[in-house]
Amino acid sequence: MGPIGSGQTAKLCNQVIGALNIQAVCEGLILGAKAGLDLNKLLDVLSAGAASSWMLKNLGPKMIARDFRPGFKIKHQQRDLRLALCLAADLGVPLPGTALVQQMLRIVEAEGMSEEGASAAIVAMEKLAGIKMTGQIQDSMRPQVK
């Protein structure tokens, strides 16, 4: 990658992209859940199209199943995002999306879930959207189309 420390910088770049991708998966799944879509079917469709990603294919099913067992813990994601934001500040590079994801993960930490896996990121979106993603929502919660 270059001089000493370049590999660590590359890892932080990876974490920034991964964290933003996790947030995108959370937002897409919450939108689908709130609209009453079958989340498993939605996941199949999205995984076969332009929105497909490793995060969608691997964490999406865990989010739907509420499987928060850690592969990579929230607290470790937060550490890496903090390091990335410090590096960005030193370099004068704005990372607004990364800052947002760090704050979203603080919601998850506030729920006492810092030891859970990255799939627990969905909890922040659930709180903001006022739903708990359990597959389908009740018809009374479905938005009315006019």
**Residues designated catalytic:** 11
- Alpha-carbon distances of 84 from 71, 118, 144, rounded to whole Å: 20, 17, 42
CB 29 within 8 A of CB 133: yes
Nearest CA among 83, 81, 17, 82 for reference residue 55: 17
Distance CA 71, CA 119 (A): 9
| Size of the chain, expressed as the number of residues it contains | 146
Residues 6+ apart with CB under 8 A from 100: 23
